[in-house]
Amino acid sequence: MTHRSHSSVHNERLEFLGDSVLNCVVASILYERYIEIDEGDLSRLRANLVKQQSLYEIAQKLELSHFLRLGEGELKSGGFRRPSILADTLEALLGAIFLDGGFEPARAAIRSFYIPILDSVDPQTLGKDAKTLLQEFLQSKKISLPLYNVIATHGAAHSQEFEIECLVPKLGIQVFGRGGSRRAGEQAAAKLALAAAEQAVQKAPAAARKSKPRAAQLKLAGIATVQEQPTPSAKAANK
């Protein structure tokens, strides 16, 4: 497979073709598999399955980087590991399969990539971001929506990192997340809050756990970990 950095004869027309075949086949798989899901959610599922990160992960499993021809500059900068290049390479491969053998071989290849993925995921949550999942979970339990606050910003203006607090007062949950934008920080915090909320609801009415300092949370995984505040009933019991 030839990247445009290597030669004037490259994969980009094949990428265009492969992208179209991929979208068609994935749409067909979802339509047949999830007869109870409406077109809006089918579109969400398809968008998640054909996004760059998903294609990159499939390309990694296929070890497509071993079959990729890159220009000297891309080689030196690690282009064979770049998600965008590998995702495009997978699309080009699918386009080549379609040209060589027709629709059915391309369809069979795409199904072999995606059926195992679909067997292991929940279609109701696939493609939804952490804030949406947290909101839906809390609403299903009749719990007030979370609160997000900017605690601090770190770094220079061109590379700021936002530290975000997420609170679920009814469950006594307080978590902190970081990201390169306010939205990314909120998503990081929401992911932790969702895990904490699911655990709290599952164990309720469990005794409140000892709070951890914010600095200790932020140290873990470069993001945050859960800090739960004692519930009012637990505070009363401790007096």
Radius of gyration of the chain (CA): 23
Element holding 1 (H helix, E strand): none
Give the angle 129-206-130 at the CA atoms, nearest 5°: 5
Q: Is 19 a catalytic residue?
A: yes
Options 91, 165, 186, 228, the catalytic residue: 91
pLDDT in tens, 146-178: 999 999 998 887 778 999 999 999 999 999 999
Phi, psi (rounded to 5 degrees) for 101:
-120, -10
Q: Helix, strand or coil for residue 224?
A: coil
Q: pLDDT tens, 60-90?
A: 999 887 878 766 666 655 655 678 888 999 9
**pLDDT at site 202:** 84
- Does CATH number 2.40.10.340 belong to domain 130-238? no
| Architecture in CATH of 12-119 | Orthogonal Bundle (1.10)
Q: Is the dihedral of CA 71, 73, 75, 80 positive or negative?
A: negative
Task: Give the range among 22-26, 75-79, 89-93, 201-205 with minimum mean pLDDT.
Answer: 75-79
Which position has the higher pLDDT, 165 or 179? 165
* Highest mean pLDDT out of 21-30, 73-82, 183-192: 21-30
Q: Does residue 88 have an active-site annotation?
A: no
Instruction: Give the pLDDT of residue 207.
Output: 46
Taking residues 1-11, what's their average pLDDT? 56
Exactly one of 19, 163, 165, 186 is catalytic; name it.
19
Is 0.85 topped by the overall pTM?
no
| Strand pairing category for 161-168 and 147-154 | antiparallel
Q: Which of 122, 147, 143 is nearest to 201 (CA)?
A: 143
Domain ranges of the chain: 12-119, 130-238
Consecutive H or E run containing 175: strand 173-179
